Structure 1
Amino acid sequence: MNRQLTARRAIAAVATTGIVSLLAACGNQTEGAEETGGDKATAVAAPLADKLPQSIRDKGVIKVGSDIAYPPVEFKDGSGKVVGIDPDIADAMGKQLGVKFEFENGTFDTLITGLRSKRYDLAMSAMTDTKDRQEGVDSETGKKVGEGVDFVDYFTAGVSIYTKKGDDKGIKTWADLCGKKIVVQRGTVSEDLAKAENAKCLKAKKGKITIEAFDNDQQAQTRLRAGGADAGSSDFPVAAYAVKTSGGGKDFQIVGEQVEAAPYGIAVAKTNTQLRDAIQAALDAIIKNGEYEKIIAKWGVQAGAVTEAKTNGGS
Structure 2
Amino acid sequence: MSFRLFKRLRAMLGCGLAVAAVLASAPALSASDTLRVATEGTYPPWSFKDASGNLQGFDVDIANALCAQMKMKCQIVAQAWDGIIPGLQANRYDAIVASMSTTPARRKQVLFTNKYKETTSSFIVAKDSGIKDVTPAGLKGKRIGVQRGSSQHQWLTANGYDKTATLVLYDDTRQPELDLVAGRVDAIIGNKATFYSGFFKRPESKDYTFVGPEFKGGVLGDGNAIAVRLDDTDLCNRLNTALDAIMKNGTYEQIRKKYFPFPLM
Give the structure-1-normalised TM-score: 0.68
Q: Structure 1 residues 177, 291: closer, same or farther in 2, change over 3 A?
A: same
Q: For 1:93-131, what per-residue CA distance to the aligned partner results, in whole angstroms no more than 9, with x for missing partners?
A: 122111232221111121110000001101111110012
How far is 1:222 from its partner? 2.0
Pairs within 5 Å for 1:240-251:
240-247=196-203, 249-250=205-206
State which of 178, 188, 209 in structure 1 corresponds to 2:140: 178
Cα distance, 1:252 vs structure 2: 3.6
Q: For structure 2, list consecutive stretches of 5 or more residues without a partner in the other structure.
A: 1-26
* Counterparts of 1:150 and 1:220, CA distance in 2: 30
CA RMSD of aligned residues (A): 2.2
Counterpart CA distance in 1 for 2:231 and 2:200 is 41
Partner of 2:102: 129
**Partner Cα separation in structure 2 for residue 127 and residue 301 of structure 1:** 21
1:270 and 2:243 matched: no
| Rounded Cα–Cα distance in structure 2 between residues aligned with 1:304 and 1:108 | 22
Residues 1-315 of structure 1: matches in 2 within 5 Å? 55=29, 57-58=31-32, 60-135=33-108, 148-152=109-113, 153-164=115-126, 166-175=127-136, 176-198=138-160, 202=163, 208-247=164-203, 249-250=205-206, 252-261=208-217, 262-300=222-260, 302-305=262-265
Label 1:281 to 1:55 Cα distance change in 2 as closer, same or farther (>3 A). closer
Gaps in structure 1 of 5+ consecutive residues: 1-52, 136-147, 203-207, 306-315
1:302 partner SS:
coil
Work out the CA distance in 1 between the residues paired with 2:209 and 2:188.
Answer: 10
Pick which of 152-161 and 254-263 moved more. 254-263
> Any idea what the Cα deviations from partners look like across 1:239-281, whole Å, max 9, x if unmatched?
2123322336436422223211531011000111111111000
Alpha-carbon distance between aligned partners in 1 of 2:62 and 2:176, rounded to the nearest angstrom: 26
Question: 1:193 offset after TM fit, Å?
Answer: 1.9
- Does the 8 Å CA contact 1:108/1:125 hold for their aligned counterparts? no
Match of 1:8 in 2: none
Deviation at 1:155, TM superposition (A): 0.7
| Partner Cα separation in structure 2 for residue 251 and residue 63 of structure 1 | 41
Q: How many residues align?
A: 234
Q: Which has the higher contact order (CA 8 A, sep 6+)?
A: 2
Identity %: 30
Q: Work out which of the two has the higher radius of gyration on C-alpha atoms and give 1 or 2.
A: 1
Per-residue deviation at 1:216? 0.8
Aligned residues of 2:122 and 2:215 also touching (Cα < 8 A): yes
Closer, same or farther: CA 172–290 of 1 in aligned 2, 3 Å: farther
